[in-house]
Amino acid sequence: MAAVEPLDIDHLRHLSGIKWSRYGPDVLPAWVADMDIAPPPVVVEVLQQLVSRGDFGYNRQALLQLPDAFARWQSDRHRWVIDPADVRVFCDVLHAIDTALWLLTGPGDGVVLFTPIYPPFLNALSTTGRRLIDVPLDPDGWRLDPDRLAAAIDDSTRAILLCNPHNPTGRVFDESELAAIARVAEEHDLLILSDEVWADLVHPGATHRPMGTISPEAAARTLTISAASKAFNLAGLRCAVAHVGHAGLAARLAELPAHLLGAVGTPGAEATLAAWTAGAPWLEAVRGHLTERRDQLARRLAADLPAVGFVPPEATYLAWLDLRPYGLGDNPAEILLDKASVALSAGPDFGVHGLGHARFNFATSAIILDQLVDRLAAALA
């Protein structure tokens, strides 16, 4: 198995990405979802080759292979068999989500979100003028309540925007929860947008089920969006794919002017192709590292911050922390940036159920993770 290289602090402080550059040198960042891990050597190699050849001309070689590579990756890893002809490349995950909402729903239409939720989903609704149908997950384990979902649907609800595995809670929804979503979607003729960008970072004991595998009926009303960005730490390269199972959406996409949706650049396409064709051994090593860090965080919280509410995530490298017992107000991340010099993601950005919470990114080295918890524990003592 390939070695995982968590980067040391000097290296990290010289990166230009927002995670390490937004705050001053006294702050330890555990906010935006980038990993403090060197990217896969197979990806670095293809990018270095492009640079050393000066190979920056018009180039569709990698781009044209992505649908096949994604189909093979899904079938090998998630037992989801798809036709590459139904896969389209987008510039990023939200590009596909905004496009689908724009094409198949109208202003004021309701869109279900399972909250708390990844903040850009809330932005996608507000910026497209769609209405939030808020279906909170059950805080005791973050399960989805099918009755709550069914009761929330109204006459102008048109879509369900699912994040599975779920950011920020790390839940991997099981077959019964996904079947409940499919049932409600069928009953009310809803579009399902299934963001599965975290599917490859599942911890032992949980299994990701693509929405498209639940039933042929569910598959036929679903757009599944994915990318190599999270699992392979490539977010700055901007490349995503979407499987268009919904025939109506496929038809609307086909009607669009050829260049309206833009195009992915060569580095993003080459990197994604390398990840999905040769990145599996690296990914396995990273998953092992992330599970160790998750367990380290759980041990440290239990020992040093026992009042924090925390359900160990089944997937992702994100921990959703309930800090209400510490009386830090609605936005503990703001207080902890000041008092602990730790940058977390602000809970209220994840919707009203995020008040008093913060999201902690534990994709770092064992040493930095200990330092992060030490700082939080000292500030909250």
Ligand X SMILES: Cc1ncc(COP(=O)(O)O)c(C=O)c1O
**165: cis peptide before it, omega within 30°?**
yes
User: Could you say which residues in the range 328-367 bind ligand X, by CB under 6 A?
Assistant: none
Chosen residue from 118, 232, 317, 326 binding ligand X by CB under 6 A: 118
The CB-of-33 to ligand X minimum distance in angstroms stands at: 4
> Using the rule CB under 6 A, which residue among 159, 240, 275, 283 binds ligand X?
240
> Is residue 197 near ligand X by the rule CB under 6 A?
yes
Residues 6+ apart with CB under 8 A from 202: 165, 172, 208, 287, 314, 315
The CA distance from 61 to 6, in Å, is 32
Minimal distance in Å, beta carbon 302 to ligand X?
A: 26
Which of 29, 43, 86, 92 is in the footprint of ligand X by CB under 6 A?
92
Which amino acid makes up residue 215? S
Q: Which stretch binds ligand X (CB under 6 A): 55-63, 107-115, 229-237, 262-270?
A: 229-237
From 2-10, 90-98, 263-271, 355-363, give the range in contact with ligand X by CB under 6 A. 90-98
| Binding residue (CB under 6 A) for ligand X from 159, 227, 342, 346 | 227
272 belongs to the binding site for ligand X (CB under 6 A): no
Give the one residue of 4, 30, 33, 199 binding ligand X; rule: CB under 6 A: 33
Q: Which is nearer to ligand X, 162 or 380 (CB)?
A: 162
Helix, strand, coil content of the chain in percent (nearest 5): 45, 15, 40
- 303 bridge partner residues: none
Helices marked H in 54-191:
61-78, 93-104, 119-128, 146-152, 175-188
Does residue 274 touch ligand X according to CB under 6 A?
no
Which amino acid, residue 21? S
Instruction: Give the C-alpha separation, 291 to 316, whole Å.
Output: 9
Exactly one of 36, 86, 195, 200 binds ligand X (CB under 6 A); which one?
Answer: 195
Helix axes 366-380, 332-340, angle to 10 degrees: 100
Residue placing its CB nearer to ligand X in the complex, 282 or 350? 350
Single-letter amino acid, residue 257:
P
Interface stretch with ligand X, choices 52-60, 86-94, 176-184, 296-304 (CB under 6 A): 86-94
Which residues have a Cβ under 8 Å from the Cβ of 140 and sit 6 or more positions away? none
Using rule CB under 6 A, residue 235 touches ligand X: yes
By CB under 6 A, name the binding residues for ligand X: 33, 92-94, 118, 163, 167, 195, 197, 227, 229-230, 235, 240
